[in-house]
Amino acid sequence: MYKKWLKSLSACALFEGMNTDELSSVLTCLKPKVCSFKRNKWVAVEGEPLTGLGVVLAGDVVVTREGAAGNRVIIAVDGPGEMFGEMAAFAEKVVWPATVVARGACEVMFLPCEKIVGSCEKSCASHKLIITNMLKILSSKALMLNRKVEYLAIKSMRGKVSTFLLEQFKKQGKLTFIMPLKRNELAEFLNVSRPSLSREMSKLRDEGVIEFHRASIKIKDLDVLRMLAE
């Protein structure tokens, strides 16, 4: 039943360490629900009852939160194999902590939270591995949110942009890479205006620090970028 999604699910941190047979077996145990969404449709709405831990099977989703003034801040953009809702899945008040929107046509699997940490009828080793993986995921997510707070604490626009570009270089391991966020999404992620972001990117280009064409970025002066990110 879940065979067509095994590739995406194998990339999910929740199922790390499982082969395809073990993965198929544990999915049969969890009995997840798969839903399809069109572009810009809500996958989950902040404050509404949480329907399960979400795993993206195909396409991308944008995880956002809205401030008191109505401004939207992007928390993450998740693709195939990535999860959302894990930070609230086992909280006392089980509601969606953020709004999730389909970036394009996508398919999402919702895993029942109570079955992830609950006892398994078959007492299978794979189910125990899920619990261990879940603890690792929650720890990593907490560290990521701390990093988000650090971005908000950076006062200068140049510092925020330089830090983001430097982190993408470290993550992708090359000086030329494709930005994971569109320009408006990056502005929301950094909590800055789109025009201000565009001006700063143009300044960095004119100063010979970077080059860019659409979503492609090339770092021309890594030392200067590191200095600006400090």
* pLDDT tens by residue, the chain, 230 residues: 678 888 889 999 999 999 988 888 888 888 899 999 999 999 999 999 998 899 999 999 999 987 666 677 888 889 999 999 988 887 777 899 899 999 999 999 999 988 887 655 655 677 788 888 988 888 887 887 777 778 878 989 999 999 999 999 998 899 999 998 888 888 888 888 899 999 999 999 999 999 999 889 999 999 999 999 87
CATH of the domain at 223: 1.10.10.10
- In the chain, the number of structural domains is 2
Q: Where are the alpha helices (DSSP H) in the chain?
A: 6-10, 20-30, 113-117, 125-153, 157-172, 183-190, 194-206, 222-229
Q: Which helix (H) or strand (E) holds 115?
A: helix 113-117
Q: Are residues 35 and 141 in the same domain?
A: yes
CA distance 90 to 132: 14
Residue span of the structural domain in which 213 resides = 155-229
Asked if residue 200 and residue 219 are part of one domain, the reply reads: yes
Q: Which amino acid is at 45?
A: V
Can you give the length of the chain in residues? 230
CA end-to-end distance (rounded Å), the chain: 50
Query: Where residue 122 sits, what CATH number does that domain have?
Result: 2.60.120.10
Whether 137 and 164 share a structural domain: no
Q: Same domain, yes or no, for 23 and 75?
A: yes
- Angle at the Cα of 33 (from 26 to 189), degrees rounded to 5? 100
Own/partner pairs, 168-173, CB within 8 angstroms, 24+ separation: 168/217, 169/219, 169/222, 169/225
15 contacts 82 by C-beta, under 8 angstroms:
no
